[in-house]
Chain A
Amino acid sequence: AQTVTQSQPEMSVQEAETVTLSCTYDTSESDYYLFWYKQPPSRQMILVIRQEAYKQQNATENRFSVNFQKAAKSFSLKISDSQLGDAAMYFCAYGETSGSRLTFGEGTQLTVNP
């Protein structure tokens, strides 16, 4: 079974600074999806960024970018120019290509300090 590990339960960053959240996963598959989701206090899950494993180019969405290292099974999220609204719980998730299951990491609580 696939596992997803987020080794940083909590992170903090100063407003306007850059922060990187770590995620590693374990799989024997060669094709899959990886995601970062944001869960603010409202608890609505918000998709931040998605990466298909067959794509070598790292995904980017405005201030959010990933560093996808397939061989190392690492998928970190970089948030640039951090804003107060970025404060939330961030979950890394692995999606099977078959579409049968999403596996989530334990989450990283991000605090943005003004």
Chain B
Amino acid sequence: GAVVSQHPSWVICKSGTSVKIECRSLDFQATTMFWYRQFPKQSLMLMATSNEGSKATYEQGVEKDKFLINHASLTLSTLTVTSAHPEDSSFYICSARTGGSWETQYFGPGTRLLVL
């Protein structure tokens, strides 16, 4: 099946620094990528949707200036957590999709972020 990778798989950073997380579709072109956030023992919450070459669409309550999303190519989307704080510590998951159907959506393995 199709493969989506995330890098890094885990990261620890100091409060106030910025962290970039990459999401790559390895064997298909992802026209749409989704970014989710998952707190321990909770569900996945959609943060934003990005389409290649256009600005990301953010969910209500998600700070656009804090969570910068770039979808510069059909195989790469990045999420940058700017000026990270301990409350940003979470598990971030991306999914990638080709076309507009849910039948072709694949999840990445997730990135665990710990902000000290």
Q: Select the stretch in B11-19, B65-73, B99-107 that faces chain A.
A: B99-107
Asked whether B93 lies within 8 Å of A50 as measured between CB atoms, the reply is no
A101 at the interface (CB under 8 A from B): yes
A68 within 8 A of B: no
The proximity string for B residues 69-112 relative to A, scoring 1 for CB distances below 8 Å and 0 otherwise, is: 00000000000000000000001010101001111010101100
Summed over the interface, the residue pairs from A and B with CB atoms below 8 Å come to a total of 44
Interface size on B, residues (CB 8 A): 22
User: Within the assembled complex, what's the spacing in Å between the Cα atoms of A105 and B43?
Assistant: 7
Q: Give bound CA distance, A104 to B42, whole Å.
A: 10
**In the bound complex, CA of A98 to CA of B102 (Å):** 9
Give the residue of A43, A105, A106 whose beta carbon is less than 8 angstroms from that of B91: A43
Instruction: Determine how close the nearest CB of chain A comes to the CB of B31; give it in whole angstroms.
Output: 10
- Tell me if A91 and B102 are in contact (CB < 8 A): no
Per-position 1/0 for A88-114, Cβ under 8 A of B: 000100010011111111110000000
Selected contact of B107 from candidates A33, A44, A95, A98, CB within 8 Å: A44
Given A44-B107, A44-B109: A101 and B49 within 8 A (CB)?
A: yes
The list of the 8 closest CB pairs from A to B, nearest first, reads A45-B107, A99-B100, A95-B102, A104-B43, A33-B102, A104-B44, A44-B109, A43-B110
A positions within 8 Å CB-CB of B: 33, 35, 42-45, 50, 91, 95, 98-107
